[in-house]
Structure 1
């Protein structure tokens, strides 16, 4: 995206640092994002929403007093909206992949721990001397 400044010179491209928080879906809300622009300005509570055409980015908003909501921050140009949407949705996909990898690694780790625990229990059982049955005279 090459916007032009008031003087007509191309503006420097924006550096976007995106952090994503995946949530248990609530209706069509899938998560939240925070975006830092050029290490200078942060916008939080961008919503990651599942729509009929796929995922999209919802802007931070507040009630407008008329039963609806008003966006409090939003892209001015179509090009920047696309850049922002792409950056956040890519970060969301990466986060989902990391969670899936961590989940499979945890499942593998738990499985390995269970196997090791069973093997240790069997080994301890094999090494334990057999229990002696008390004699009848010892019972009295």
Structure 2
């Protein structure tokens, strides 16, 4: 008896929406978790210890910011953050490569002698 097994969907499908080279907010992202739950408004931030993930939040009456949604365990947070930061770094590398290709000087072709058409 053989079991039909389909590959599990990726746990996190991360989409990087915008890059911001200036300032501490480096990009915005959304994450689809198992194809069942989506989180928008995630920020990739740069702090004194490097990149970190900032979840969507609101400002409470006491001035503190409270996350609207978040991973519930330390392990889940580490996995979620790694997926987002990894997608950011991959998208940044692809963006830089595309920019370099666009800015690369086009080699000048040697001017080959072209046939000259006789007068008409």
TM-score, normalized by length of structure 1? 0.66
Q: Is the aligned partner of 1:31 residue 2:27?
A: yes
Q: Is the aligned partner of 1:70 residue 2:36?
A: no
Q: What RMSD in Å do the two structures reach over aligned CA positions?
A: 2.5
Matched residues in 1 for 2:99 and 2:19: separation?
Answer: 15
- The range that moved more, 26-35 or 74-83, is 26-35
Please identify runs of 4+ aligned residues in structure 1 that moved more than 6 A. none
Asked if the contact 1:22/1:92 (under 8 Å) is kept, the reply is no
- The structure with the greater share of residues assigned to helix is 1
**For the pair shown, which has the larger CA radius of gyration, 1 or 2?**
1
Deviation at 1:24, TM superposition (A): 2.1
Matches within 5 A, 1:1-140: 15-108=11-104, 111-112=105-106, 115=108
List gaps (5 residues or longer) in structure 2.
1-7
List gaps (5 residues or longer) in structure 1.
1-11, 128-140
Aligned length: 105
Asked which structure has the greater RCO (Cα within 8 Å, sep 6+), the reply is 2
